[in-house]
Chain A
Amino acid sequence: MDKKTTMPINLTINGKPVSAPEGSTILEAARGAGIRIPTLCHHPDLTNVGACRLCVVTVEKARGLQTACTTPAAGGMVVNTESQEARETRRFVLEMLLSDHPNECMVCETNGDCELQDLAYEYEVPWPAAGATHHKYEVDTDPNPFVAIDRNKCIVCGRCVRACDEIQNREVWNFANRGFKTRLVAGADQPMLEARCESCGQCVAYCPVGALYDKMSVGVARANKVEKVRTVCSYCGVGCSFDLNVRDDRVVRVTSTAKAPVNGMALCVKGRYGYDYVHHTDRLTKPLVRRDLLSSSTSDERRSGRSSDLVEVDWDTALNLVARKLTDIKSSHGGDAIAFFASAKCTNEENYLFNKFTRQVLGTNNIDHCARL
């Protein structure tokens, strides 16, 4: 539906006149007007289920509190998001959640980037006294090498279930049992990969707490320890963008961002978890030259057969050698005796320079790359 062409709805929220497109929920109308309503199970990319009851608000003439994420905004509605009743209900919900939550923020991967922690702080909900029954699930039992699960921290918000179903379209997660026994399971309580998981990490990205987390980043990538650098994926041509999380000059995690123009929060397994090649010990760190190329002062007569080994040299030596050799080939055989493979992995600026180097410096049009392959 094209919301622009329909009639706006006018309502009042917290005494302020608000206008919202037809079809908006109270939550959308409020957020559109810059009024914050806390949520946990809601995410703007996902369908609303009204499960966590954090977004409850008072609506005049309506009986009881309404969940803002599922109640449609209507003309003339008068909404109070900060009524005493609403705030008390939120506090109660948070107390309930914390009463069955491990008191582990100190060692939790998601500390500092946790929606439950933020809300407990905002609503000044203290840690409940011991006594309540806690779940005692074993942690990180799934063999998936990328995604770890700590069900003790799961608040049963269902965001992972909907992210996998609606964004990834894979339907891996679902809830087994009801009530206190409700338990997040993959497929028919199988390992994730057997339940058709593609290891995209969308469920991790949408989990509001530390129940799902990135295995590769355990112990190194807490939010307050990393710097985020927005960039674009180095693999396929979709052009997903994401944030490299950097700590001590190393990429320790990739996080997705709703601001990515192509992909939003979605990434694939390579983009999200395929970054560690950057720091692999196989990386080349010094220019290499065949040993026998270093000894002969005139390169023209040399026929190496590349029998000698590659040895490390400094940049000046390597650059001068290549400059001299290419210049020689051009002067004795012409520029067309040289060819250049440009790279689909390099930037536009670099490829422009490859093209300029080939045409201006070498004087040939022999340039191509593996676009076709």
Chain B
Amino acid sequence: MTNSIRDITEESRSIFIIGSNTTEQHPVIGIKVRRARRRRGARLIVADPRRIDIANYADLHLRHKPGSDIALLNGLMHVIVREGLQDQKFIDGRTEGFDELRTVIGKYDPKVAGRITGVAPGDIEKAAVMLAENRPGTLLYAMGITQHTSGVPNVMSCANLQLLLGNLGVPGGGVNPLRGQNNVQGACDMGGLPVFFPGYQKVTDPKAREKFEKAWGVPLPDQAGLTLVEMVKAAGQGKIKGLFIVGENPMTSDPDLNHVRQALEKCEFLVVQEIFLSETARMADVVFPAASFAEKDGTFTNTERRVQRIRRAVSSPGEAKPDSWIMAELAKRMMALGVATCDAAAPYHSWDYVQPPQVLIEINSLTPSYAGIEWARLEGGQSLQWPVPNRDHPGTPILHTEKFTRGKGRFVAVDHTPPAELPDEQYPLILTTGRVIYHWHGGEMTHRARNLQAMCPEALVEVHPKDAARAGIGDGKPIKVASRRGEITAKAQVTDRVEPGLIFANFHFAESAANFLTNPALDPEAKIPEFKVCAVRIEKG
């Protein structure tokens, strides 16, 4: 997030939510949005194909078709510019590329945008004016924007809207992705990505490489690595021979699960480090038992870049160990076997860690945005939002207040492109996927939380009454959903939360995982699969 969660509660005069089922996926942000709407009168616009909970609180609910986000955003911008409601001072002073944007959005008058998105042109007009008249405004998005073949252009389009309205670098504004898992922000920050060392220092940048080579005492590869979906593919082709998986369950969370299974079977050596014997762990050659969050010390970074302490509260069961201990033990043994030759003079070549604070010191010295996030400050009760360039720095609740990372903010004009797979005669419906409040991801944890499981014991597929009637499917009755890649059986929930032609499934249940159906077509740049749209057909289960 460019801004803080606090801004939503206190500052934003309008809140635009697109592609985020906020109250179910990020519940406490959801209640802050509801509070801002109800107690402060902030305007709330929700763009989502489904009538999700937060839409019930909205001033306007735009039910655009899955995969038509850019058309919708361009339509909004079209109206804003046509009415001269853009923040021209901000555009002139802090951005570039406005003319190209104007040309592209020129094509998306509300009629055109309405035709692509299925939203009434009058609602597009209303929403545009509401956003323009209620500034600063925040824009919140989640996987509903990124999990498309047009994921990166979708995000750019969100940024365009906020630049146009001057909603960046100010309290209450911002382009605010709500990150999924508790420490997904931290995993990215800490170099858990194929192109970046910690702190988004590129592995292809010779200077960055030199810095880490000096610190770790080994020569480092200069080519970007494979992304997750590419790794699975390479494993399927026999190019990846060893796969080490920590705390993830690609056997429910990845697209096209049948393909994932084949790839994992093919892979010569699979190690899984987990707290439960997940579907993925069952396929492993070696399983390491790991400690849960309640059994270890360290830090997590939340979606607003806030770094907070987690603390060990209980002992691990049996011989389960913290992941840091496992990595250090393994690294030491491999170094002893001569897997790499380290320069012993390099300050951080060794793996003799005793406790997480030591690791944080290493992070402080190698990651400029974390330089001032010291253990003692966190212990003293502070929680700090990066960048924190030094130990006296108070942290950065709002990014881009003076200038953007690259100087000027750039409008990148983008056009609507249809999803990779659209309904046809054989597969006439669109499937979109998401989550429910009681479960989390593949359900590895929540299925084992007694009452969460009791609240939502099985997968439900939402179907509109019309589609249900046509297929002869009753509410609460079994439904079979098939795509070009596979099929699942689940329980139907007949509801007008979805529109005719659209069905919704969650991916929390391994036995009827929606990802047996989903399309692994990737956004060409971010390599994110298109979970949010694929073509399916339904019948009685």
Contact = CB atoms under 8 A, between A and B. Distances in A.
Contact of B292 (A236, A262, A278, A350): A278
B244 A341 contact: yes
B449 A352 contact: no
Contacts of A271: 28
Interface string A168-200: 110000000000000000000000000000111
Interface stretch (A28-36, A98-106, A315-323): A315-323
A84 interface: no
A3 interface: no
Nearest to A335: B221
A359 interface: yes
B486 to A, nearest CB: 17
A6 interface: no
Contact of B313 (A238, A244, A327): A244
Nearest to A283: B317
Describe B's contact surface by its main secondary structure: mixed
Nearest to B265: A306
Given A231-B293, A343-B246, A347-B310, A262 B28 contact: yes
Contacts of A146: 451
A184 to B, nearest CB: 21
Contact of B315 (A216, A249, A324): A249
B194 A284 contact: no
Interface string A10-51: 000000000000000000000000000000000000000000
Interface residues of A, number: 117
Interface stretch (B83-91, B156-164, B329-337, B491-499): B329-337
B242 A293 contact: no
Contact of B182 (A145, A276, A344): A344
B31 A230 contact: no
Contact of A282 (B217, B277, B381): B277
B393 interface: no
Nearest to A324: B337
A251 B295 CA distance: 10
B304 A365 contact: no
Given A238-B26, A288-B286, A327-B339, A339 B243 contact: yes
A246 B315 CA distance: 11
Given A351-B186, A355-B192, A315 B329 contact: yes
B294 A251 contact: yes
A373 B5 CA distance: 23
Interface stretch (B99-107, B112-120, B437-445): B437-445
B95 interface: no
A236 B293 CA distance: 13
A367 B184 CA distance: 14
Contacts of A342: 187, 192, 246
Contact of A348 (B253, B301, B318, B330): B301
B224 interface: yes
A361 B526 CA distance: 26
B182 A236 contact: yes
Contacts of B235: 339
B220 A360 contact: yes
Interface residues of B, number: 158
B244 A340 contact: yes
Given A349-B360, A351-B190, A338 B527 contact: no
Interface string B456-493: 00000000000000000000000000000000000000
Contacts of B180: 236-237, 344, 371, 373
Nearest to B301: A348
A272 to B, nearest CB: 10
A325 interface: yes
B190 A229 contact: no
B303 A238 contact: yes
B401 interface: no
Contact of A372 (B315, B320, B529): B529
B218 interface: yes
B309 A355 contact: no
B189 A145 contact: no
B223 interface: yes
Nearest to B292: A278
Interface in B195-229: 195, 197-198, 203, 212, 216-218, 220-221, 223-229
Contacts of A233: 182
Contacts of A352: 190-191, 198, 359, 362-363
A269 B356 CA distance: 30
A373 B338 contact: no
B27 A370 contact: no
A127 interface: no
A339 B272 CA distance: 12
Interface string A222-241: 00000001111111111111
Contacts of B281: 284
Contacts of B321: 315
A13 B531 CA distance: 62
A298 B17 CA distance: 56
A119 interface: no
Interface string A241-257: 10010100111000000
Contact of B183 (A351, A365, A372): A351
Contacts of B290: 284
Contact of A337 (B39, B239, B312): B239
Contacts of A269: 27, 437-438, 452, 455
A240 B147 CA distance: 25
B248 interface: yes
B54 to A, nearest CB: 10
Contact of A365 (B195, B234, B312): B195
B485 to A, nearest CB: 16
Contacts of B449: 270, 273-277
A322 B244 CA distance: 10
A261 interface: yes
A166 B275 CA distance: 38
B322 interface: yes
Given A351-B186, A353-B328, A237 B26 contact: yes
A108 interface: no
A55 B190 CA distance: 51
A287 interface: yes
B193 A367 contact: yes
B540 to A, nearest CB: 29
Given A169-B38, A237-B179, A261-B308, A366 B362 contact: no
A367 B226 CA distance: 7
B505 interface: no
B299 to A, nearest CB: 5
Contacts of A369: 184, 187-188, 192-193, 228, 248
A329 interface: yes
Contacts of A145: 451, 454-455
Contacts of B192: 342-344, 351, 354-355, 367-369, 371
B333 to A, nearest CB: 4
Most chain B Cβ neighbours within 10 Å, of A238, A304, A323, A340: A238
Contacts of A246: 313-314
Contacts of A364: 221, 225
Given A278-B292, A337-B240, A342-B192, A365 B203 contact: yes
6 contacts: A269-B455, A270-B440, A283-B276, A306-B285, A310-B287, A325-B269
| Top 7 A-B residue pairs of the complex, sorted by shortest distance between their CB atoms | A285-B318, A239-B302, A347-B298, A365-B225, A343-B247, A355-B191, A268-B27
Given A198-B437, A238-B29, A366-B240, 4 more contacts: A270-B452, A284-B275, A338-B243, A371-B193
